């Protein structure tokens, strides 16, 4: 797939609830995911498609998503694109509801996503 095809499919897949399914289609086996901050009990950097699947599984188990928006893709050069995510969710364990937005930058090589990087506003406190 081309960078543009990958970018469009990632965005459409997120909008249609196929984000986890798209991991196998769009991501390299050794893709790397880099969060802006390490979450409590988690790592900032996740290596490998299986690990990225684990992040998605954790989210589905730990959070109730009330609304989600995906904006983009925004193309950059020949090998990157960005997406803006906005989420309204409740942490199932604490009952705390919150809204967040983040920018994700995806790096593409040999027809697959090889790296994703998330940029978030500073954490409160």
Question: Has residue 125 been placed in a domain?
Answer: no
How many Å apart are CA 100 and CA 57, to the nearest integer? 19
The model's pTM is 0.93
When divided into structural domains, the chain yields a total of: 1
**Facing residues of 50 across strands?**
none
Residue 103 near residue 119, CB atoms below 8 Å: yes
pLDDT over threshold 70, residue 40? no
Question: Has residue 124 been placed in a domain?
Answer: no
**Pairing state between β 27-34 and 112-119:** parallel
Question: Has residue 29 been placed in a domain?
Answer: yes
Question: Has residue 101 been placed in a domain?
Answer: yes
How many Å apart are CA 62 and CA 91, to the nearest integer? 6
- CATH code at 20? 3.10.450.50
**Pairing state between β 45-47 and 80-91:** unpaired
Question: Has residue 81 been placed in a domain?
Answer: yes
Triad 80, 105, 9: Cα angle to 5°: 70
Domain range holding 91?
3-119
Band the pLDDT of 122: cuts 50, 70, 90. confident
Band the pLDDT of 7: cuts 50, 70, 90. very high
């Amino acid at each position: 797939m081309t960078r543009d095809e990958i970018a469009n499919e990632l965005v459409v897949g997120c909008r249609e609830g196929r984000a986890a399914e798209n991991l196998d289609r769009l991501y390299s086996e050794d893709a790397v995911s880099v969060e802006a901050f390490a979450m409590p009990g988690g790592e900032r950097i996740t290596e490998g498609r299986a690990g990225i699947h684990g992040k998605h599984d954790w989210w589905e188990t730990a959070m109730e998503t009330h609304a989600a928006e995906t904006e983009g893709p925004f193309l950059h050069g020949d090998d990157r694109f960005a997406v803006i995510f906005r989420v309204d969710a409740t942490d199932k364990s604490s009952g705390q509801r919150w809204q967040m937005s983040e920018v994700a930058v995806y790096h593409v090589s040999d027809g697959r996503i090889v790296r994703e990087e998330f940029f978030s506003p500073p954490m409160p406190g």
